[in-house]
Amino acid sequence: MSHIELERVEQPDALSITARHDGYRRRLKVDHQRRLSLSRRGDRLDGTDLCVAHGRLPRGGLPFHIRFHLHPAVSASITQGGRAVLLRLSHRHGWLFHLNPDDLDADDLDSELILEESVYMEAGQPVRCQQIVITGRFGGQGVVKGAAGRPVHWRFERLSAARPPGDKTITPPDPTLSSRP
């Protein structure tokens, strides 16, 4: 049985949750941690994924895929030189998904952003949709026990988030977007 830890932190401008699990430890020798931070306005979701080694990893490391499955009503296209995805919804709002949004050396990172086909089940019937996939390698230099890989930062940001300054009301995230590790 996997061990799961959860930590919730309220900040003046955001609500954050950090979750850790050891579900990959037996097979892959790594633990996974994800930190999510939702702005109080509901117009920005920041995430960080991190792996920590629990044993020596193979040379060349382990491949990873972080997947974000999109609702069929969302159309997606890669932009900003492959570092972002523009998400267009059926109503007036659009979102931008950024890979490593605050990293000035993003071109040096060992991760890539791609779009793939996916399937959404609606009333028991498959419906075509897309998924955002971040691919990369963890521990490329034979990482030893206890070492953490380079974190992968990502962000969903609403493009039409026009609210008065100081408005910190919580708006639920758009239901047409979902994330699955």
Q: How many CB atoms lie within 10 A of CB 52?
A: 20
Which domains, and CATH codes, for the chain? 4-158 (2.70.98.70)
pLDDT exceeds 80 at position 16:
yes
Q: What is the pLDDT of residue 103?
A: 67
Q: What is the band of 108 on the pLDDT scale with cuts at 50, 70, 90?
A: very low
> CA-based diameter of the chain, in Å?
52
117 or 2: which leads in pLDDT = 117
Q: What is the band of 94 on the pLDDT scale with cuts at 50, 70, 90?
A: very high
Q: How many CB atoms lie within 10 A of CB 168?
A: 12
Tell me the pLDDT of the chain averaged across its residues: 82
Convert the pLDDT of each residue in 29-79 to its tens digit: 889 999 999 999 999 999 999 988 887 777 778 888 999 999 999 999 999
Tell me the pTM: 0.79
